[in-house]
Structures are given as structure tokens and as C-alpha cells.
Structure 1
Amino acid sequence: MDLAGKRVRAALGRSGICPQNSKQEGDGATPTGRYALRRILYRADRMTPPLTALPARPIRADDGWCDAPDDPAYNRPVRLPYPASHETLFREDGLYDIILVVGHNDDPPVPGLGSAIFLHCKRGDYEPTEGCVALDPDDVRRLLSNAKPGDHLVIEP
């Protein structure tokens, strides 16, 4: 990944990448495309707020993200407990200590075209994701310090 003129290592989906219009819920692929940088979520109990011009707020213990294609809240934040399938954002493993929410399948969401595609912190030695982009936490912070409203994340083959 190119970050402010510097190449950094990134983890992608366990199934590699796929064209944006071929993404399917649960396929483990990272969709190619150009995605608006929406907002930042972070673990305030683990870090200070990231320096960024993007909107940011702490992750709460009851924050989730709906990944059930047949639910009206599909690919939207939800409050836990939530009756449909969802991701828990307040995680113990550190992956979601900083989340950059990107504009994949969100205007409006198309059921089944993929949800919760974030840029977040890496696991281990850049283990594959479920379809997100993952960076070293220091690289996430560097990216956020240079990001501003109107910027985009570009994922290319």
C-alpha cells in the first residue's frame, strides 16, 4: 500500500481481491474500488484519539455493525444486543482499536454486496482479513493524520 509516498505492508481478505460489483457477503474477498473515507471509530480505553481531520468518536461496548443481508440495518451501525447477524466492534483482540469506515456499499446498501469493509489494525504478521484492509497501528495513525474529508481509499488489483 502507498501511504503518503511511502510503501507499507497491508493485509487483505483471505480470498484475495475481487471486483467491487462481484463482492458477496461472507466471501472473504477485499473489493477493489475507490471508497470515500467516512469516519473513525477508536478504543478510547486503549488510546488517545487519533489525530485526524475526519469525524471520530470512541467505540462503545454496545457498538455493532449489521452483516445480515435481509435486515433493514444491513451494512449499518447497530446497538447491541441486536437480533440479526452482526459484528461486535468493541473487540478484545485489538483489530478494531482503530477503524476507518469507508464508503463500500453504503449509499444505499445493496443486500448481499458486502458489509463492514473497514481499514483497521492488522492481526499478527499480517494475517488475512475477512475482506477488509489491515495495517500496522502506526501506519493507520499515519494515514489518519494525513486524511481529510473528501479523501478516498483506492484498492486496486
Structure 2
Amino acid sequence: MEAWQRAGNGWRPILGPVPAHIGADGIGQASESTSRTPAGLFSLTQTFGRAANPGTRQPWFHASTSDWWVSDVGSPAYNTHQTCAPGTCRFNEKAGEDLGRAGAVYDYAVVIDYNRWPVHPGAGSAFFLHVTSGRPTSGCVSTDRAVVIAILRWLDPRQHPVISLGVR
């Protein structure tokens, strides 16, 4: 994985290359029924974590056990962040991800804006750049904790950051 920043008429490398993991099914057409990382160019507009904000300028929320990412295809809240106490949510919690209980992988994370505007139920949800567990993901991109922190500190909403996911 690499990070680049626009510089005049070109681009300059900011970070990497560094090792990263992707979905166990590779990169391509994502869906709820695969562990595939979506291919394409996606905005990075929101960040979160179980740990304290490391200094990102992007919108950030602290993930507690009442923070969920909805993967319930029958819910109008599909592929959105919702806050509700366990057992009180208006979606199928078994088809959601409790961000606060997910472990160290969500200490620091960046939301990948795949299938968010508009949302297509079943096309895939909960795609993040997050701290690695050392294994392939269910569709997210993961890398070392220090790299995720460096990316969070570098991100600037005024620069309209994006992630390009594909195969060279």
C-alpha cells in the first residue's frame, strides 16, 4: 500500500510501500456474500476508533459498544453508522458490526465510502482501512497500527482524500 499527495501538476509519495491485507476473496465486485475488497476509487470522509483520536482532521467518532455499522440488508440504515445500546437497535444486530467489541483492529479506522451514496442493499457494507490482525480481511484493507495512525494524521478533508483499490 502507498499514499500519494497531489503536488502541483503531479503526485509525490507520502508513505510506503507498506504491507497490507485485503479481503480473503481478493479485489473485485464486493457484496454481502463475499469477502472481497471492492475495486474502484472511493472517498475517505469519516474516521473512528476505540482509542483516542490520534490527531486526524477528518470527522472522527469514538467507537463504543453502542456504535454499530449496519449490514442488515432489510434495514433502511444499511451500510451506515448507528448508535444504539445492544438489544435496542432497530436493525438485526446479528447482521451488524458492533464497532466497540471488534477488538484492536478498530482501535483506528478510516471508512471507505463504497456503496454509501446511494446505498444498494446487498452490494456490501462496512469497508474500512483499519489496524491489521495479520490475516486477510472480510473485505477491508488492513495494515500495521503505526501506518493507520500515520494515515489518520495525514488525512485532510480540504484535500478530498480518496483510496484507489485495484490490481496492477
Question: TM-score, length-normalised on structure 2?
Answer: 0.83
Aligned AA (1:76)? T
Residue pairs, 1:4-19, within 5 angstroms: 4-18=14-28
Residue pairs, 1:94-109, within 5 angstroms: 94-109=104-119
User: How far does the alpha carbon of each residue in 1:59-90 deviate from its partner, in whole angstroms, 9 at most, with x for none?
Assistant: 12200111011211110112243241201100
Query: Whose helix proportion is higher, 1 or 2?
Result: 2
Residues 26, 130 of structure 1: 8 Å contact kept: no
Shift of 1:92: 5.3
User: How far does the alpha carbon of each residue in 1:100-148 deviate from its partner, in whole angstroms, 9 at most, with x for none?
Assistant: 112110002101110001111100xx20100000010100011111111
2:123 aligned counterpart, secondary structure: coil
Aligned AA (1:121)? V
Q: Identify the residue that residue 69 of structure 1 maps to in structure 2.
A: 73
Aligned AA (1:54)? Q
Larger relative contact order (Cα-Cα within 8 Å, sequence gap ≥ 6): 1
Largest Rg, 1 or 2:
2
**Structure 1: runs of 5 or more not aligned:** none
Residues 9, 135 of structure 1: 8 Å contact kept: yes
Give distance in 2, aligned partners of 1:71 and 1:110.
Answer: 11
Please point out which of 46, 69, 89 is paired with 1:39. 46
CA RMSD across the alignment: 1.4
Q: Identify the residue that residue 24 of structure 1 maps to in structure 2.
A: 31
Give distance in 1, aligned partners of 2:85 and 2:109.
Answer: 18
Cα 1:5–1:97 change in 2 (3 A) is closer
Q: Identify the residue that residue 2 of structure 1 maps to in structure 2.
A: 2
Aligned AA (1:12)? I
Aligned residue-pair number: 149
Please point out which of 111, 135, 138 is paired with 2:146. 138
Residues 64, 80 of structure 1: 8 Å contact kept: no
Q: Identify the residue that residue 153 of structure 1 maps to in structure 2.
A: 163
Shift of 1:52: 1.6
